[in-house]
Amino acid sequence: MTDRQHLVDAVGLVGELDRDDPPTVLDVRWTLTGGGRAAFDAGHLPGAVFLDLDADLAGPPGAGGRHPLPDPAALQAALRRGGVRAGHPVVVYDAGGTPPTGAAARAWWILRWAGLADVRVLDGGYAAWTAAGGPVTRAEATPIPGDVTVGAGSLPVVDATGAQAVAADGVLIDARVPARFRGETEPVDPVAGHIPGARNQPAAETVDEAGRLHPPALLRAGYADLGVRADRPVAAYCGSGVTAAQTALALTVAGFEPALYIGSWSHWITDPERAVATGEEGSS
| Catalytic residue list | 238
97 in Cβ contact with 129 (< 8 Å):
no
CA 33 to chain centre: 17
What is the distance between the alpha carbons of residues 39 and 91, in angstroms, rounded to a whole number? Answer: 18
Q: Do the strands 171-174 and 90-93 form a parallel or antiparallel pair, or are they unpaired?
A: unpaired
- Return the DSSP state at 22: P
SS3 223: helix
- Strand, helix or coil for residue 218: helix
pLDDT score, position 2: 43
Closest CA to 86 of 24, 154, 148, 21: 148
Alpha helices in 149-215 (DSSP H): 160-169, 178-182
Q: Which of 237, 242, 10 is nearest to 132 (CA)?
A: 10
Distance CA 72, CA 151 (A): 8
Q: Do 9 and 123 meet the contact criterion of CB atoms below 8 Å apart?
A: yes
Q: What is the pLDDT of residue 4?
A: 63
Element (H, E) at 260: strand 259-260
d(CA 255, CA 249): 10
Structure confidence at residue 16 (pLDDT): 97
Helices (H), the chain: 10-17, 36-42, 53-56, 72-81, 103-113, 125-131, 160-169, 178-182, 216-226, 243-253, 264-268
Round to the nearest angstrom and report the end-to-end CA distance of the chain. Answer: 29
Rg (C-alpha) for the chain, rounded Å, is 18
- Tell me the C-alpha distance between 27 and 82, whole Å: 10
Give the pLDDT confidence score for residue 282 in this predicted structure.
56
**Which run of H or E residues covers position 250?**
helix 243-253
Domains of the chain with CATH codes: 3-131 (3.40.250.10), 160-268 (3.40.250.10)
pTM: 0.96
Phi, psi (5° rounding) for residue 97?
Answer: 80, -170
Structure confidence at residue 1 (pLDDT): 40
Return d(Cα 176, Cα 271) in angstroms, integer.
Answer: 20
* Nearest CA-CA partner of 6 in 223, 203, 216: 216
Cβ(108)–Cβ(6) below 8 Å: yes
Which pLDDT score is estimated for 280? Answer: 85
Q: From the first residue on, what is the mean pLDDT of each consecutive set of 10 residues in the chain (284 residues)?
A: 78 96 97 91 98 97 97 98 97 97 98 97 98 96 96 97 98 98 97 98 97 97 96 98 98 97 98 96 56
Residue 54's nearest CA partner among 34, 82, 72, 27 is 34
